[in-house]
Structure 1
Amino acid sequence: MAGIPTAVLIGGAGPPVVLLHGPGEFALTWLRVMPELARTHRIVAPDLPGHGASGLGDAPLERARVLGWLDDLIRQTCPSPPYLAGHLVGGAIAMRFALEQGDRVRGLALVDTHGLHRLRPSLAFSLTLIGFLARPTAGSRDRFFRQCFVDMPGLQQQLGSLWVPLMTLALQGAGSSEGKSAVRSLVSQFGLRPIPDAELARIPVPTTLVWGRHDRQTPLAIAQRASERFGWPLHVIEDAADDPAFEQPAAVLEALTTVPALG
């Protein structure tokens, strides 16, 4: 896509939904909501550039190149304008795309998104993330992930045999020089600084916020302010931190049934 080798999961039939994951993740982090969504929609879940099985191509991941990549992805995989669901930096990418090409999108679902406020995680979140990126091991990964999930042991039990391969993929991505470069580029281009309120107010498509109550990376207060300021519906997911679709898929699916074009 746009000169970037891209791995994409596609399934289902119906109105298209593009699922954009967060930094350091991969398309399979949506796996707990994809099967149900695919009953009624065409699901397109790419690995972001430099993540998972996707490459970086031969040019820097500047904002225009990433948005061009998303434009090409939509052109090649979606028979009609899709709904964009974006998690963390994926949400910031979705918002930027909607601002530039609103006629190409039906709406946005922003899950604990970056781009609404300057990124200022909690101290514990920041320290464990730095430790994980500096020395990716199973131990540093688990210390960091305890900041990302409310009940990590319970989640491990729910996922059963899927837990180990998913955690292995996360560790491999953190240890990859290409993956680290991609995370730095995407977060610096889309995640660190907020989109100005005047621009957010110009997003031309229906926009819904879905947020974990215990998010330590992008606190709930950020979503509450955006909801009040822009009139975007906000769905707070209990017993979840910054990845509610992974921790509480049933609650997220229920929230999405209220979203225009997804319900």
Structure 2
Amino acid sequence: MTTDQKPNLRPVREIVPTLEYRTIHGYRRAFRVAGSGPPILLIHGIGDNSTTWTTVQTKLAQRFTVIAPDLLGHGKSDKPRADYSVAAYANGMRDLLSVLDIERVTVVGHSLGGGVAMQFAYQFPQLVDRLILVGAGGVTKDVNVALRIASLPMGSEALAALRLPMVLPAVQLVGRVGGALFGKTGVGRDIPNMLRILADLPEPTASSAFARTLRAVVDWRGQVVTMLDRCYLTESVPVQLIWGSKDSVIPVSHGRMAHAAMPGSQLEIFEGSGHFPFHDDPDRFVALVETFIDSTAPATHDQEALRNLLRTGVTEADLTGPTGTRAAVLDAMDTDERSAT
């Protein structure tokens, strides 16, 4: 006699992230936390907030403690007149983890959050187990022209105009029409997320914080902060890069360049995805994060090894990948303006 056997599936319970607050240096910081186990820190991009991670946070919380903060100036966090540089954001992540008694963490950063994650690893290597960079900013100067325009002085005036009656609905209508016209192109995939972020900006303190954050990393010529000259410092850190092949904000070529400049890193390209691959295919994203964590040992911070790397610096021999990509990295390091952080 035969019986039908059902696959041995792991029971899944819905874990809804809880919104919590901590006051640090006098400012209220919001974050969403869910699950238990090894900690993961999810850092969102510019103008966005922690809810962008909700789907993947819920899934990852089956195995991990997942913390998704609202960066200062974003979401439910305070929006003071403050320092919104990537270095300041990295400090903020250090302080939040300290308050939560978390000593080491796997850091996942998207867009601006990827630049913050890289800066966090640079400033506080002893706190980092692994790095996962998703469509990360700060590789080289190329960036969507809309962000270059928004960084100009009149860009703030344009954001202020969103507070006028019917302006935001009109922009959203044009965006929806554009999304339908561009369909499954990178622009078409990214427009709905851009409209979602835009809806939060009419509030004066939010638009001011957005402008300050943007101008800390972008001007009319493009991104003004680059990580390429320090990528070699991740030599002992497991790094997973994730990019959408149709990213209309930060080109997929940046993922290939970062991969070439980061010894031992892994690169996964989501074909057809735009700037938010974790929205386009959250199940694949979660599986990739879990596999990466399961297959890598946490970084071991060695201060003497770091000293030696700093003394040696980056050389052409440290780069990997196709000749064209290596040449692009070297050219960017020679010509791009670099962060002096």
When normalised by structure 2's length, the TM-score is: 0.65
Q: Does the Cα contact within 8 Å between 1:93 and 1:190 map onto a contact in 2? A: no
Query: What does residue range 32-181 of structure 1 map to in structure 2 within 5 Å?
Result: 32-57=55-80, 59-121=82-144, 123=145, 133=159, 135-136=161-162, 137-141=168-172, 143=174, 146=179, 149-150=188-189, 170-181=197-208
Determine which of 216, 231, 235 is the counterpart of 1:200: 231
Q: Deviation at 1:184?
A: 2.5
Partner-residue secondary structure (3-state), 2:82: coil
- Residue 230 (str. 1) matches residue 253 (str. 2): no
One-letter amino acid of the counterpart of residue 247, structure 1: D
Distance 2:161 2:172 in 1: 9
Q: Deviation at 1:3?
A: 3.2
Larger radius of gyration: 2
Partner-residue secondary structure (3-state), 1:73: helix
One-letter amino acid of the counterpart of residue 180, structure 1: S
Instruction: Tell me the residue number matched to 1:215.
Output: 247
Determine which of 170, 178, 184 is the counterpart of 2:211: 184
The count of aligned residue pairs is 250
Q: Deviation at 1:78?
A: 4.9
Partner-residue secondary structure (3-state), 1:34: helix
CA separation of 1:94 and 1:50: change in aligned 2, threshold 3 A: same
Q: Deviation at 1:225?
A: 1.7
Of stretches 210-219 and 243-252 in structure 1, the one that deviates more from structure 2 is 243-252
Distance 1:38 1:142 in 2: 36
Distance 2:136 2:267 in 1: 12
One-letter amino acid of the counterpart of residue 250, structure 2: T
What is the CA RMSD across the aligned residues, in angstroms?
3.1
Determine which of 37, 40, 53 is the counterpart of 1:30: 53
Q: Does the Cα contact within 8 Å between 1:19 and 1:45 map onto a contact in 2? A: yes
One-letter amino acid of the counterpart of residue 37, structure 1: L
Q: Answer 1 or 2: higher relative contact order, Cα 8 Å, separation at least 6.
A: 1
Partner-residue secondary structure (3-state), 2:269: strand
Of stretches 73-82 and 84-93 in structure 1, the one that deviates more from structure 2 is 73-82
Q: Does the Cα contact within 8 Å between 2:31 and 2:70 map onto a contact in 1? A: yes
Q: Deviation at 1:218?
A: 0.6
Structure 1 stretches lacking a partner, 5+ long: 156-165
Q: Does the Cα contact within 8 Å between 2:245 and 2:270 map onto a contact in 1? A: yes
Q: Deviation at 1:62?
A: 4.1
Distance 2:273 2:173 in 1: 17
Partner-residue secondary structure (3-state), 2:132: strand
Q: Deviation at 1:75?
A: 0.9
Determine which of 273, 283, 286 is the counterpart of 1:253: 286
Q: Deviation at 1:229?
A: 2.8
Q: Does the Cα contact within 8 Å between 1:214 and 1:242 map onto a contact in 2? A: yes
Instruction: Tell me the residue number matched to 1:243.
Output: 276
One-letter amino acid of the counterpart of residue 86, structure 1: G
Of stretches 62-71 and 222-231 in structure 1, the one that deviates more from structure 2 is 62-71
CA separation of 1:51 and 1:117: change in aligned 2, threshold 3 A: same
One-letter amino acid of the counterpart of residue 150, structure 1: R
When normalised by structure 1's length, the TM-score is: 0.82
Q: Deviation at 1:10?
A: 0.8
Partner-residue secondary structure (3-state), 2:260: helix
CA separation of 1:84 and 1:139: change in aligned 2, threshold 3 A: farther
Q: Deviation at 1:176?
A: 1.9
Distance 2:255 2:64 in 1: 27
Q: Does the Cα contact within 8 Å between 1:138 and 1:171 map onto a contact in 2? A: no
Distance 2:212 2:227 in 1: 20
One-letter amino acid of the counterpart of residue 206, structure 1: P
Query: What are the Cα deviations for residues 174-195 of structure 1, in whole angstroms up to 9, with x where unaligned?
Result: 1122222222232333462242
CA separation of 1:39 and 1:218: change in aligned 2, threshold 3 A: same
Distance 1:115 1:108 in 2: 15
Distance 1:51 1:135 in 2: 19
Distance 1:179 1:151 in 2: 21
